[in-house]
Amino acid sequence: MQVEQLYTGCLSEAAYFIASEGEAAVVDPLRDVDTYINMAKEKGVTIKYIFETHFHADFVSGHLELAKKTGAPIVYGPQTNAGFPIHMAKDGEEFSIGKLKLKVLHTPGHTLESSCYLLNDESGKPYCIFTGDTLFVGDVGRPDLFSGNMSKEELAGMMYDSLNNKIKPLNDDIIVYPAHGPGSSCGKALGPETFSTIGTQKQSNYALQDMSKEEFVKTVTEGLSKPPAHFPLNAKINKEGYEGLDEVMERGLKPLSIAEFKEQVKNGAWPLDTRPATVFTEGFVPDSISIGLEGRFAEWAGSLLPFSQPLILVTEAGKEKESLIRLARVGIDNVHGYLDGGFEAWKNAGEKMDLIIDIEADELAMDMPHDNKLEVVDVRKPSEFEAGHVKSAVNAPLDTLMDPLNVAMIDSDNNLYVHCAGGYRSVIAASLLKRQGYHNLRNVLGGWGKIKQVKQIPTVTPKQEQV
């Protein structure tokens, strides 16, 4: 028996590969399915089933791609309504994978069709459970993402029943393999680990503690942040189907000369620069949006970029394919090529360039007493801002900066010092502001992590105000 977790950090997503006696199954695959096909070849096994725990909202699943390339059926739990052929399993139905048995546990709550898969080993003993977004390490799936006509309170009530009737009765030693880990927006506060055990979760997970249904519903539904913009779109794509990845790659992996690149921009395409944030600030094609591959690239691309917007890429050499794949994972398929030779070719051709000035936190401290037009723009989440911020700073969360009404609240006449927690999001924000006509910009290196260490910078915390 082999059970492998394949974890993708920038999406906080876990897929699983199960193998026994020449047969295999994949749980919650990503859209770029060659990884699973190559694993099957290396292990000498045939992919027999593709199991989906639910219609994912935060990424485009590889279910259709993998089914097309392997012939394996796509399995969902009860109450699934899909726009493509599936095997809709019954609650309690079992599937054989070599000498293993996988049992379906219908656990509605995150979504109506949400199901967990309990894997028994060769001896018939329950070994692990793939919980999807029903149960995370330290949390449960939020009930407000893809609920149809049901309220989040109704789904939370169903989640309560699922946890108490299907999950809590399981043996303590069963391994919990969730679909997501820390950083995911599919829950409120996922723990730092990517797997656990039923026993540990019974002890430490707030959602598995003894409480009434009313208490549970209130606890699970309060304090939910606004879900990222791409969530409903990804859920719809996963339910209805999508264009093949091969076609997306063929269109996007087209090298563009400088003249062709400029013509694409003239026709409305947006340049997306996936180079590291620290490299981008030193020079870039004017009006480019920076989302560096080194951070939570796919998540921010899905949150900020309109799905219908044509894009053209500027990447580091050899990173064109990776950029395309990671965009496709969140359903951004409208890419029409990349700048041949990258930014160096643009620079060497003497084309017009732009840059963003980087400063240290110490320089911000020195500038503050002498510049009456200085404005600190904090692009962190409201919860981060409330936990501590620069006095008189403007909180303009990054995910709001594609809305001109929100951006209009920032005074373009001021000298803007932009920061986030560590420096990645602030460069994205600065590039968005540049596109919208804000050019008096400084990017504060190290963000809040460095700013709060400088005593000369006045800050506000929940408990006190420092002047």
Q: What is the mean pLDDT of residues 248-260?
A: 97
Report pLDDT for 183: 87
Q: Which amino acid is at 187?
A: G
Note the pLDDT of residue 467.
Answer: 38
Span of 5-14, 342-351, 443-452, 455-464 with lowest mean pLDDT:
455-464
What the block records as the tokens of 238 is 């996963």
Banded model confidence at residue 147, pLDDT cuts 50, 70, 90 = low
Name the DSSP letter for residue 285: -
| Residues above pLDDT 70, as percent of the chain | 98
3-state helix, strand, coil in the chain (%, to 5): 30, 25, 45
Q: Which amino acid is at 319?
A: K
Taking the C-alpha atoms of residue 218 and residue 329, their distance in angstroms, rounded to an integer, is 33
Query: Confidence class of residue 188 from pLDDT cuts 50, 70 and 90?
Result: confident
CA distances from 238 to 235, 266, 302 (A): 5, 33, 15
Lowest-pLDDT range of 58-62, 232-236, 313-317? 232-236
pLDDT at 465 over 70: no
For the chain, domains (ranges, CATH) are 2-233 (3.60.15.10), 244-348 (3.40.250.10), 357-460 (3.40.250.10)
| Res 10: pLDDT | 86
Tell me the average pLDDT of the chain: 95
Looking at the chain, the whole-number percentage of residues with pLDDT higher than 90 is 91
Residue 402 corresponds to which tokens in the numbers above? 């594609």
The pair of structure tokens assigned to 421 is: 């927690």
| Whole-prediction pTM | 0.91
Region 79-103 average pLDDT: 97
Residues in the chain: 467
* DSSP 8-state code for residue 350: T
